[in-house]
Structure 1
Amino acid sequence: MRLSSNGLSNDQKKELAIFANWILAIGDGTQRDALFPDDYDASMIKIPQDLLLEVGSNPILAIVSAVYPSIRDINIDPCYFRERAIVTPRNATVSKINNFILNMLPGMKRIYLSTDTICKTSSDGDNADILYPVEFINQLEFNGFNGVPSHTISLRIGTPIMLLCNLNLSAGLCNGTRLIVTQLAERVIEAQIIIGSFIGNRIKKYNFYPSLRARACRVWIAKFNGQPSSFNCVFVENQGGAIQALAKTRDLPTFAATIIEGNHYEIKGFYTYENRAVNTVAAHDAVIDLKSNTKIIGIEAITPYVPRYYFNFIDYTHILTKSKVSRTLTDVLGRLKALQPLEQVMVRGQTLENKREFMLENIRGKELRITLWGDSARDFDELALHNLPSPVIIAFAGFRVTEFKGKPNLNSTTASLWYFNLDILECVAYKHL
């Protein structure tokens, strides 16, 4: 669970602490409000009155009305479903609640059927049709036949759904992704992602938007031939969605002086365009076009709380795989094991380039080579690194993956940044090495 707001009062904090301890006691089996005289291991747990619903004769109606009070509104915001859910311990109950909610939604219902044939590859392939008739296959339910969804699924436009398989990891379409149905065709279902960093339909490409409230969680200035070429940043909203913003050379000084990494802003009057950047940091299909008439206004911290830094750390063992399915740059974290001094090397037999190499080690002792090139290698402050306490934990962000002799290597780009000994959760385990 996570808090839905920040800046709680002392009374609210006390109530949350009491609730958290109560949940913990239930999980540990120490919460016992009434014991059974003939079974010491069993006990009754009393639910606080403020957590109970008056169910009456229809418990499903009671909980649906409490969680989705505006479910019948035809103009409901798709993000409405992102903020609430009903969790049950049994799949049979899930089916009942799903069907109940579906019947409450407006619009025409469409029914889809699953494939109902057996793959004839086993030793009994010739007898498959006899052993598994269509009627039997169609009766298999997710509830009693693990891993097999129901033969039928009924949907309406506006229905929240969830993916049960990995379709496209780089686009956020993976097992557990929550979406909302936008179109229903004969053999195609169109849906909009409503969670995570891929809420792409909230801000589309080639559109004008009056405002966006977000935190600038990463800021960098790209250089070309040693000269600043563009101002870049990543804005993260309070639901976790991230989008990259860019100002070209002409407007670079203005935004470089206005947007400070870590601060909160309201961006007013901006356009977006398709994200075709070579150095993509945020996996969003649009980029905010920062121009001279775009207003940037500093604001107080937004709620829910947005973390100070934006990273998409990836485990060393998955780096090569990730690079083949995603065009976004890579972020890694590790303990500094070795550092090579700045040197100049001949590249392609034509030009001398600055080069600096690092060797990182993750929590399991696996090593990864990081290479800074050009301006990045020259600008790296080696003196500041030597003044840090040991162990030195470095987060390298915005790097491109290459492969050498079957092993991954990360190379710097114009979007590359590095951070030392951050006060973030991912660094805690390294500090005890």
Structure 2
Amino acid sequence: MLGAFASSQQASTLQCGHFDPNFVEALKDGLQHSGQKSSDAPDIPVQQLAMLFTPITELNPQKINVVIRVRVIRKWEFRGATNDGPLRHINLILADEQGTTIHAEIPAALATEKGSLIQIDKVYEIRHFRVMPSRGYFKPVHNNLMIQFTLYTQAKVVNDPPHIFPIYIYNLTSFEKVEENVDNRNYLIDVIGMLTQIGAPHVAGYNNSSIVRDIFIKDISDASLKITLWGDQASGFSIDNVCNQSNNKPIVIMFVGCLAKQFKGQSYLSGTTATTWYFNPNIPEAQEYYIKLQSSDLQLIRPTVAEEECEVSQKPNIEDKTIQELLEMDPDMFPVIIVNPFCSTFLIHKK
């Protein structure tokens, strides 16, 4: 289910690129100061003003010198499969006033100059960027195109933008369809449910080198789903800002940017660097959960303060594994392993 939901203050009649009368008067006033009287200034149709900003739906690689006005919905860094290497690029999820989304990428070479200026939830006018086909794997949004920042890309923050820009961008997958998306490398997965259990952080992976936390949620039919978070996401997951320690009532949570995996016959979701979660999101799909929780006797299970204390102190050691042992391993249990393969070959001469 595709969703792009804005705040309750949004103006439903405002369309992408439309401006209020004050903006039009400002343009006419500018013409007057340049030597042309206001009375002589030609009427500027709103349709022409809309052309100042190109909707995301009209972007294509051949169209140049366009300007988009978008809100930054999400932002994350990509440092390779191990997530501890050098910065490869910064990722952005952008949405325009029509609710259309696109994935944008800031190369590592421009991360300091461009990336540090882009903040989540801010609205920007962006120009001089490259439009290119989106990557064929792990797409965070459903768009066949993506944006790449260049040395000449400019991003100007918009003060007091209209309230029509979406706050949440999601494409919800039902729990029963998670299994059929196992090993689907085309798109990342978003889900919503009631948070019923927060597992304590623990060490796992290659010689206990990673911090892991399991989160359990239930859908409206009480089907359960596990989401496994890794590293900083595992240690940083907290509901302290949502409810206090004495409140054990489940809360609604939406996870976006996950991968469907399977281990020992059980399907689950694994967190990625693109994974983000929202507590009690104000979206239509969450309303039935809020209604159910009003009369539900479900209790949220959470770790104690002592169980929350977890630290990886053991450095990985080199181990010998046979090919069969490697094939039987769950790759998601080793997200930060760096492998230096070495094969020993034995030749047996038969007489």
Alignment TM class, shorter chain as reference: 0.5 to 0.7
Q: Distance in 2 between matches of 1:221 and 1:210?
A: 26
Counterparts of 1:219-258 in structure 2, within 5 Å, are 219-223=75-79, 224-225=83-84, 228-258=87-117
Pairwise CA distance, 1:281: 0.5
Pairwise CA distance, 1:404: 3.6
Query: Are the counterparts in 2 of residues 218 and 309 from structure 1 also a CA contact under 8 Å?
Result: no
Q: State the Cα deviation string for residues 369-411 of structure 1 (Å, max 9, x = none).
A: 1001233223334654663863322211100011345543100
Pairwise CA distance, 1:204: 2.7
Q: State the Cα deviation string for residues 243-281 of structure 1 (Å, max 9, x = none).
A: 101112232234443222222211111112232264321
Query: Are the counterparts in 2 of residues 311 and 397 from structure 1 also a CA contact under 8 Å?
Result: yes
Pairwise CA distance, 1:207: 5.8
Q: Distance in 2 between matches of 1:417 and 1:247?
A: 19
Q: Distance in 2 between matches of 1:282 and 1:401?
A: 16
Pairwise CA distance, 1:299: 2.0
SS of alignment partner, residue 127 of structure 2:
strand
The match for 1:393 among 231, 252, 261 is 252
Residues 1:379 and 2:236 aligned together: yes
Counterparts of 1:86-105 in structure 2, within 5 Å, are none
Residues 1:363 and 2:230 aligned together: no
**1:5 corresponds to:** 14
Greater relative CO (CA pairs within 8 A, separation 6+): 2
SS of alignment partner, residue 378 of structure 1:
helix
CA 363–375 in structure 1, closer or farther in 2 if over 3 Å, else same: same
CA 254–395 in structure 1, closer or farther in 2 if over 3 Å, else same: farther
Query: Are the counterparts in 1 of residues 72 and 119 from structure 2 also a CA contact under 8 Å?
Result: yes
SS of alignment partner, residue 430 of structure 1:
helix
Residues 1:353 and 2:210 aligned together: yes
Query: Are the counterparts in 2 of residues 235 and 242 from structure 1 also a CA contact under 8 Å?
Result: yes
Q: Distance in 2 between matches of 1:409 and 1:418?
A: 16
CA 373–206 in structure 1, closer or farther in 2 if over 3 Å, else same: farther
Q: Distance in 1 between matches of 2:77 and 2:112?
A: 10
Q: Distance in 2 between matches of 1:337 and 1:361?
A: 7
Counterparts of 1:105-120 in structure 2, within 5 Å, are none
Q: State the Cα deviation string for residues 340-371 of structure 1 (Å, max 9, x = none).
A: 11111134xx6622211011011221111100
SS of alignment partner, residue 170 of structure 2:
coil
SS of alignment partner, residue 282 of structure 2:
coil
SS of alignment partner, residue 414 of structure 1:
coil
Counterparts of 1:236-385 in structure 2, within 5 Å, are 236-276=95-135, 278-299=137-158, 305-322=164-181, 327-347=186-206, 352-381=209-238, 383-384=240-241
Report the residue type matching 1:280 in the other structure. Answer: K
Query: Are the counterparts in 1 of residues 97 and 166 from structure 2 also a CA contact under 8 Å?
Result: no
Query: Are the counterparts in 2 of residues 279 and 413 from structure 1 also a CA contact under 8 Å?
Result: no
| Runs of 5+ unmatched residues, structure 2 | 1-10, 21-54, 294-351
Percent identity between the two aligned chains? 24
Query: Are the counterparts in 1 of residues 225 and 268 from structure 2 also a CA contact under 8 Å?
Result: yes
Alignment RMSD: 3.5
Give the TM-score taking structure 2 as reference length: 0.60
Pairwise CA distance, 1:304: 8.5
Q: Distance in 1 between matches of 2:136 and 2:236?
A: 23
| Runs of 5+ unmatched residues, structure 1 | 10-194
Pairwise CA distance, 1:309: 1.3
SS of alignment partner, residue 233 of structure 2:
helix
Q: Distance in 1 between matches of 2:64 and 2:208?
A: 43
Q: Distance in 2 between matches of 1:322 and 1:401?
A: 6
Q: State the Cα deviation string for residues 67-123 of structure 1 (Å, max 9, x = none).
A: xxxxxxxxxxxxxxxxxxxxxxxxxxxxxxxxxxxxxxxxxxxxxxxxxxxxxxxxx
Report the residue type matching 1:431 in the other structure. Answer: Y
Query: Are the counterparts in 1 of residues 138 and 185 from structure 2 also a CA contact under 8 Å?
Result: no
Report the residue type matching 1:274 in the other structure. Answer: P
Tell me which protein shows more helix as a share of its residues.
1
**2:67 corresponds to:** 211
Pairwise CA distance, 1:324: 7.0
**1:424 corresponds to:** 283
Q: Distance in 2 between matches of 1:228 and 1:393?
A: 33
Pairwise CA distance, 1:206: 7.0
Query: Are the counterparts in 1 of residues 137 and 185 from structure 2 also a CA contact under 8 Å?
Result: no
**1:86 corresponds to:** none
Query: Are the counterparts in 2 of residues 275 and 286 from structure 1 also a CA contact under 8 Å?
Result: yes
